[in-house]
Structure formats: structure tokens, C-alpha cells
């Protein structure tokens, strides 16, 4: 487990890029934290380092995006879900297939999401400061 503080979006992206360097298809990364804490910024930095060149924005009107970078990269946002049902899981499952998958608002997916390799938790700590906790399921990251 590591706890860090960043002072700009660029710093958060750089931190995410370092984490992403250790990821491979099949890995799930949950990114939790309140609105505006920088979850999408973190995912953007990770996507860039995984070779994704298209715009990385919150998947507000769809469940998720799947990008082609150096590997396939999925980005899901479960904000609109109270609880993901097993039926809904059928729609989500393809995003996890052979991709590095980032999940914002993972709380709604408890019980159906595959186990996370990395759990990121972000919170505001004043103006442009964000405190970022990173828990890893194994020492590979
Ligand atoms: P979330 O997905 O958690 O709602 P976003 O990444 O969409 O958050 O938005 C975070 C906002 O906070 C952006 O406008 C970003 O520029 C700003 N910001 C300011 N400082 C930071 C920081 N240190 N890390 C990440 N984002 C920051
Ligand atoms: Mg977001």
C-alpha cells in the first residue's frame, strides 16, 4: 500500500502512468473517490502510458469505453448503478475480456466485478492537492 499526494493533474497522470507500466491484459484497477477527486484524470494518465491516443473522458452516456492502445484498455464508470445485477454484468463482461480495465465508482460492482489487481482511492486535500492511496493485490505493481 502506498499513499501519495499530488499537486496537479499532470502529477496525477504521471503517477498513474507509473502504475500502468506494471499492468497487463486481464488486470482490473478500481478507482474510487468522490466527484472531482481526479479518477478520470488518473485513468487518462494510465491510458496514455498504455498507448491510447484517443480522447479519454468519463463514459457518461455509455457504460464504458474500450480503447486500442499497445494493449486493449477499458474504462468503465459505474456511477449510475446502485448495484450491478448479474444480468447487467452480462453487458459489462466484454470490457474485461483480454483488456486492462479501469473502473470508476467500483462500489456498485461489489460482488460481480472480478477481483482488482490494484485499488486506487482518491480524495481532495485542498485546492489542487489530491491524496491518492494505492493498494496492490500482489507485489508485481
Ligand atoms: P472524477 O473522475 O473523480 O470526477 P476528474 O478527473 O474528472 O475527477 O476531475 C478532476 C478535476 O480536478 C479536473 O478538473 C482536474 O483538472 C482537477 N485537478 C486539480 N488538481 C488535481 C490533481 N492533483 N489531480 C487530479 N485532478 C486534479
Ligand atoms: Mg470521472
Smallest-distance ligand from the CA of 39: 1
Q: How many whole angstroms from 115 Cα to the centroid of ligand 2?
A: 21
Q: How many whole angstroms from 113 Cα to the centroid of ligand 1?
A: 25
pTM of the model: 0.96
Residue whose C-alpha is closest to residue 31's, from 76, 94, 67: 76
List the beta bridge partners of residue 110.
Answer: none
pLDDT tens digits along 86-137: 899 999 999 999 999 999 999 999 999 999 999 999 999 999 999 999 999 8
Q: What is the pLDDT averaged over residues 17-24?
A: 96
Percent of the chain predicted with pLDDT > 90: 87
Please tell me the predicted confidence (pLDDT) of residue 139.
61
CB 78 within 8 A of CB 84: yes
Q: What is the pLDDT averaged over residues 69-87?
A: 93
Closest residue by CA, ligand 1 atom 4: 36
Please tell me the predicted confidence (pLDDT) of residue 138.
73
CB-CB neighbours of 135 under 10 Å: 15
Ligand 1 neighbours, Cβ below 6 Å, are 6-9, 11-12, 33, 35-41, 58, 104, 128, 130
Give the C-alpha separation, 66 to 47, whole Å. 11
Give residue 1's pLDDT band: very low, low, confident or very high (50, 70, 90): confident
Terminal alpha carbon distance of the chain: 10
3-class secondary structure per residue, 81-119: CCCCCHHHHHHHHHHHCCCEEEEECHHHHCCCCCCCCEE
Amino acid at each position: 500500500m502506498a499513499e501519495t499526494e499530488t499537486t496537479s493533474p499532470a502529477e496525477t497522470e504521471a503517477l498513474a502512468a507509473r502504475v500502468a507500466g506494471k499492468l497487463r491484459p486481464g488486470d482490473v484497477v478500481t478507482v474510487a473517490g468522490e466527484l472531482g477527486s481526479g479518477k478520470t484524470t488518473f485513468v487518462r494518465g494510465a491510458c496514455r502510458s498504455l498507448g491510447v491516443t484517443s480522447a479519454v473522458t468519463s463514459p457518461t452516456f455509455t457504460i464504458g469505453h474500450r480503447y486500442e492502445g499497445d494493449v486493449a484498455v477499458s474504462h468503465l464508470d459505474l456511477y449510475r448503478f446502485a448495484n450491478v445485477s448479474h444480468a447487467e454484468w452480462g453487458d459489462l463482461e466484454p470490457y474485461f475480456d483480454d483488456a486492462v480495465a479501469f473502473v470508476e465508482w467500483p462500489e456498485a460492482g461489489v460482488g460481480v466485478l472480478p477481483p482488482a489487481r490494484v485499488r486506487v482511492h482518491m480524495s481532495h486535500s485542498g485546492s489542487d492537492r489530491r491524496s491518492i492511496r494505492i493498494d496492490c493485490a500482489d507485489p508485481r505493481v
